[in-house]
Structure 1
Amino acid sequence: MLQRFYAYLQVDRLFLLGIFCFSYFLVISNRVRAGMVSWYTFTPEAPIVTFFSALLIFLLVRYCLNRFQHNDDGQLSWLKMLQIIFVSLLVYLAANNSISVLISVMFNTVERNFSPNLLLSKNLGDIVDVVLFAGIYLARYHWQAASRYQQQVADYNQQLAQLTIQQLKAQLNPHFIFNALNTLDELISVDQKQASRYLHDFAALYRLSMHNATQQLVPLAQEIEFAEYYFKLMQTRVGPGYQLIIDPALRSSQSLLPPFSLQLLLENVFLHNQGSLAAPLLVDISLQQQRVVVSNPLQPSAKKTRSGNGIGLTNLAKQFLFLTGRNLDINHANQRFSVSLPLLEEQPRV
């Protein structure tokens, strides 16, 4: 029974306990202001009556809300709130005065209880009670509606961020596959045995990529392993003119990265630079102040390279902005190109 009452009013025990305490101290304050300072000041009969009056007002306001509030967002205009308070006030005054008349008739005290002064004083007190307790209830109602709306906005933003990240991943993965298949196409025309080995390595790498693609973040050590496989795969075509140096501290780090981050940066190295035995291109992956830094000397290719579609680095930057709130640090100075990726220590709450 009580649970149904709480559910109808959309309140809990703590709120009603607060209303009872408020009623109790309100009555004590009124008695003290009237000069009634004695043991009677703290007796509970008047606070109990005030508390049950508050419950009746809450019921009236709840009924009006159910009748007048038709939208689902729970928002009330000032005009609607005044309308609810006014209707609740009329019903409350009518009910209270009707009950008072019945009791007075039963005990034959109509003339004494309905003198002009007493009637005015009683109705003014009832008006104050309705405005006070209806205002408290509507304030709570508005707070609950605002909390629900904020939660809906937070849920929407989380879903939007998750969807956007998945869309970015969906763009990164085909980008990787497209370039890998182009490499395989070139190898087939040069050396079929080497192409077969390349296809075997590519299949193993792609299985790992499929696992990573389902993750929002992967361990840094796993991302390093994936980058090494990718680099070795590319060396099958371009030869030993490209060398990879990895900071040993990266392998023991517990930090996290979005999947395919390092692979994308290495892909850009191969796309825009040229290495040879005479002038090897040394790609360095290091750990610097909780950031992974991928750097290489600028050795532009003498021949025209196949240009990328431009979405890779841009989308990677968007991913890091969503997940960390920080941007990539791209540095192009002193004949070196470097990209610094911020690391995460735990899964973000996006």
Structure 2
Amino acid sequence: MKNLINKIHQNQYFLLFILLFAYVQSVYIRIAVRRQIDIYIFTPEAALASTLGAGILFVIILFFIQKWQKSDTFSNAVMLRIFAISLLVFVISMQLIGFLIALAFDKIEKNFNQHVLLFSLLSDFLSGIIYGSFFLAYYYYRKNKKQLQKLSTYNEALAESRINQLKNQLNPHFLFNNLNVLDQLIEEDKHKASDFLNEFAEIYRYVLQASDKELVSVKEEADFAEQYFKLIEHKYGEAYQLNLESKNTNALIAPLTLQLLIENVIKHNLGTAENPIEIHILMDENITVSNNINLKKNSKSVSGRALKNLKEQYSLLSENAIEIHQTDQEFSIIIPFIYN
């Protein structure tokens, strides 16, 4: 009983529509037949009877759906089969119910003569088509909606899993690169290496915290980028220069985005004190990271796995893709902002 009440509550608007349609239909038929308007025309007993008959039809259709439609995949052939058999069973059921009522009140001859029987069969058949069509349309709409919700949930879970996988690929990349820098500094200058290690510990703490987040604020990422660039200065001095201009700090971006892009510039370009590589980061309607080009001899013209992973991460997080532009003098990447 409780389950039935819950079902009625869940489908209350559809059932209300059926009741209103049945009422309007009964009023229209009475006016068409009697060709006059009186109080009887607006009484609801015919609408209630039609709604009850529609309920019987719905139960029959659900029975055959559960019996024959085993797959979640929609099939026109199966639907037509269900509809046809349900319609036949409904007409037979309504005639049987009518016969039992007539038998109880001794009205068989009056209600089951040839003329009345033909009219009753036609009426039940047309009602079955109308209300059955309403029900099937509603049922498959609800079913499709649930499938879309499941698919959406699955895609979100898949995207989140893929993002975490990409982050797990980037974090070791960040760690090993900076440990290599530390190893070189230890050979060159132990005091410098000590300062680098202290700053690196602070930065890596942010890396670990950010790894648990899908998105971070632009301000957090900008502060981290400037702190990270101090590590670069420990090794390269003024060979690489950073100019960060922030106009938009209300948006979100994927964590470690700026760090990866700065690292990408240094990986592919050779900077010197006389001919430095200037990295410009502008945050306006989006993030534009640009730099002058002085490619290393062993550097590929296209970016490697880290940038490829970043592009894939943004394809999961945003409708706008990362844009890459390159000329002989300048390389630039445009990163879309993400808003709640």
Residues 92, 120 of structure 1: CA spacing in aligned structure 2 closer, same or farther, 3 A cutoff? same
Q: Which piece of structure 1 moves more, 186-195 or 86-95?
A: 86-95
Matched, 1:121 2:111: no
Q: Tell me which moved more, 86-95 or 207-216.
A: 86-95
- SS of alignment partner, residue 152 of structure 2: helix
Distance in 2 (CA, whole Å) between partners of 1:96 and 1:327 is 60
Q: Which residue pairs with 1:17 in the alignment?
A: 16
Q: Which amino acid aligns with 2:54?
A: A
Q: Aligned to 2:288, what secondary structure does the other structure show?
A: strand
**Take 1:291 and 1:159, find their aligned partners in 2: how far apart are those partners?**
27
Q: Are 2:286 and 2:334, in contact at CA under 8 Å, matched by a contact in 1?
A: yes
Residue 218 of structure 1: aligned partner: 216
- In the other structure, the counterpart of 2:274 is 278
Tell me the distance in 1 between the aligned counterparts of 2:42 and 2:64.
35
Name the amino acid aligned to 1:296: N
Inter-CA distance 277–26: structure 2 relative to 1 (3 Å threshold): same
CA contact (8 A) 1:271 1:306 kept: no
Alignment of 1:26 with 2:25, yes or no, is yes
Of the candidates 150, 153, 164, which is equivalent to residue 151 of structure 2? 153
Higher relative contact order (CA 8 A, sep 6+): 1
Residue 272 of structure 2: SS of its match in structure 1? coil
Listed as ranges, the matches of 1:76-95 within 5 Å are 76-95=74-93
| CA distance in structure 2 between the partners assigned to 1:307 and 1:195 by the alignment | 32
Within 1, Cα distance between the matches of 2:173 and 2:302? 9
Q: Are 1:313 and 2:307 counterparts?
A: yes
Deviation at 1:121, TM superposition (A): 1.3
Paired position in structure 1 for 2:36: 37
CA pair 262-82 structure 1, distance change in 2 beyond 3 A: closer
Residue of structure 1 equivalent to 2:286: 291
Q: Distance in 2 between matches of 1:186 and 1:4?
A: 71
CA 1:329 to 1:113, structure 2 compared with 1: closer, same or farther past 3 Å? Answer: closer
Specify which of 229, 233, 237 is matched with residue 227 of structure 2: 229
Q: 2:321 aligns with which of 327, 335, 348?
A: 327
Cα gap change, 1:304 to 1:41, in 2 (>3 Å): closer
Q: Is the 8 A contact 2:218 2:253 kept in 1?
A: yes
Which residue number in structure 2 is paired with residue 258 of structure 1? 254
> What amino acid is aligned across from residue 331 of structure 1 in structure 2?
H
Deviation at residue 208 of structure 1 after TM alignment: 0.8
Change over 3 Å in CA distance of 1:190–1:88 after alignment to 2: same
Change (3 A) 1:58 1:7: farther
Matched, 1:198 2:196: yes
Q: Distance in 1 between matches of 2:286 and 2:249?
A: 11
Q: Deviations over 1:181-216 (max 9, x none)?
A: 111222222223322222222111100111111112
CA contact (8 A) 2:53 2:94 kept: no
* Alpha-carbon distance change, 281 to 121 in structure 1, aligned in 2, over 3 angstroms: closer
Give distance in 1, aligned partners of 2:243 and 2:207. Answer: 22
Going from structure 1 to structure 2, the CA distance change for 1:275 and 1:94 (only over 3 Å counts) comes to closer
User: What whole-Å deviation, never above 9, does each CA across 1:11-63 have from its counterpart, x for those lacking one?
Assistant: 52221111110001111222233343221322222112111111222222223
For 2:66 and 2:256, the matched residues in 1 are separated by: 53
Separation (CA, whole Å) in 2 of partners of 1:191 and 1:305? 27
Contact 2:282 2:289 in 1 (8 A): yes
Distance 1:306 1:233 in 2: 24
Structure 2 vs 1, CA of residues 231 and 63 (structure 1 numbering), >3 Å: closer, same or farther? same
Matches within 5 A, 1:152-171: 152-171=150-169
- Does the residue aligned with 1:157 lie in a helix, a strand or coil? helix
Partner of 1:132: 130
Please give the per-residue CA displacement for 1:258-290, whole angstroms capped at 9, x wherever unaligned. Answer: 1111111211222233333333333222234x1
1:96 to 94, 97, 102: 94
The 8 Å contact of residues 24 and 47 in structure 1, kept in 2 or not, is answered as yes
Q: Which amino acid aligns with 2:222?
A: I
Deviation at 1:310, TM superposition (A): 1.3
Given residue 112 of structure 1, which amino acid in structure 2 is its aligned partner?
K
Shift of 1:232: 0.8
Q: CA deviation at 1:66?
A: 3.0
Q: What TM-score does the superposition give when structure 1 sets the normalisation length?
A: 0.86
Root-mean-square deviation (Å): 2.7
**Corresponding residue for residue 263 of structure 2:** 267
Residues 67 and 225 of structure 1, relative CA distance in 2, 3 Å threshold: same
Given that 1:246 and 1:284 are in contact with CA atoms closer than 8 Å, whether structure 2 keeps it comes out as: yes
Q: State percent identity of aligned pairs.
A: 34
Q: Secondary structure at the match of 1:34?
A: helix
Of 14-23 and 234-243, deviating more is 234-243
The match for 1:188 is 186
Give 3-state SS (helix, strand or coil) of 2:289's partner.
strand
Are 2:91 and 2:128, in contact at CA under 8 Å, matched by a contact in 1?
Answer: no
Taking a change above 3 Å as real, the CA distance of residues 133 and 333 of structure 1, as seen in their structure-2 partners, is: same
Structure 1, unaligned stretches of length 5 or more? none
SS at structure 1 position matched to 2:320: coil
- Structure 2: runs of 5+ lacking an equivalent: none
